[in-house]
Amino acid sequence: MTDIALVKELLALLDNSSATTIEIRKGFTTYRVSREAHAAAPSLPFVPVASAAPGAAGGPVSAAPAAAPAPTAARLIEVKSPMVGTFYRAPEPGAEPYVKAGSRISVGQTLCIIEAMKIMNEIEAEVSGTIREVLVEDAQPVEFGQVLFRVEP
């Protein structure tokens, strides 16, 4: 039985019972489907409790999308780090930062520098808008895919 078929079966079982949570262990993965008892319409999120064992093929599949973010957050675009390195807000120590919260930006404008292996990589804006949040402190290490800024287009 595929993960999706299993989740669909769990959802059907939950929908036809008075239970609020059903949990099944399949190998090294635990599947839990639950709904809030006080909700007017049942909410049926699928939450994987433990991931598959290392080296196992596949993994849990979500049956329901994640909760919707707040309306304002939904409009913000996240600028993520394209590499691992050290984040710098300014071109040199003591200089004004490239951008700060509230700064208007345009496509191609330098937002920050990420130093990786002694190479200074300028990170440019891919969208025009206003910087709403700067999520990393100057001279802090960043990971690939880490959110650096949130921009309102």
> So where are the chain's domains?
3-50, 71-152
For the chain, how big is the Rg over CA atoms in Å?
22
Give the strand order in the sheet containing 110-116: 119-124, 110-116, 85-88, 140-142
Say if residue 55 is exposed, middle or buried (CB neighbours under 10 Å; 0-12, 13-18, 19+): exposed
In whole angstroms, what is the distance from residue 33 CA to residue 112 CA? 42
Closest CA to 3 of 64, 60, 66: 60
Tens-of-pLDDT digits for all 153 residues of the chain? 666 776 777 777 767 777 777 777 766 666 677 766 444 444 445 445 544 444 445 444 444 444 444 445 668 999 999 999 999 999 999 999 999 999 999 999 999 999 999 999 999 999 999 999 999 999 999 999 999 999 999
Fold of 71-152: OB fold (Dihydrolipoamide Acetyltransferase, E2P) (2.40.50)
The closest of 78, 65, 83 to 132, measured between CA atoms, is 78
Q: Cα 31–37–43 angle (5° rounding)?
A: 55
Check residue 65 and give its pLDDT. 46
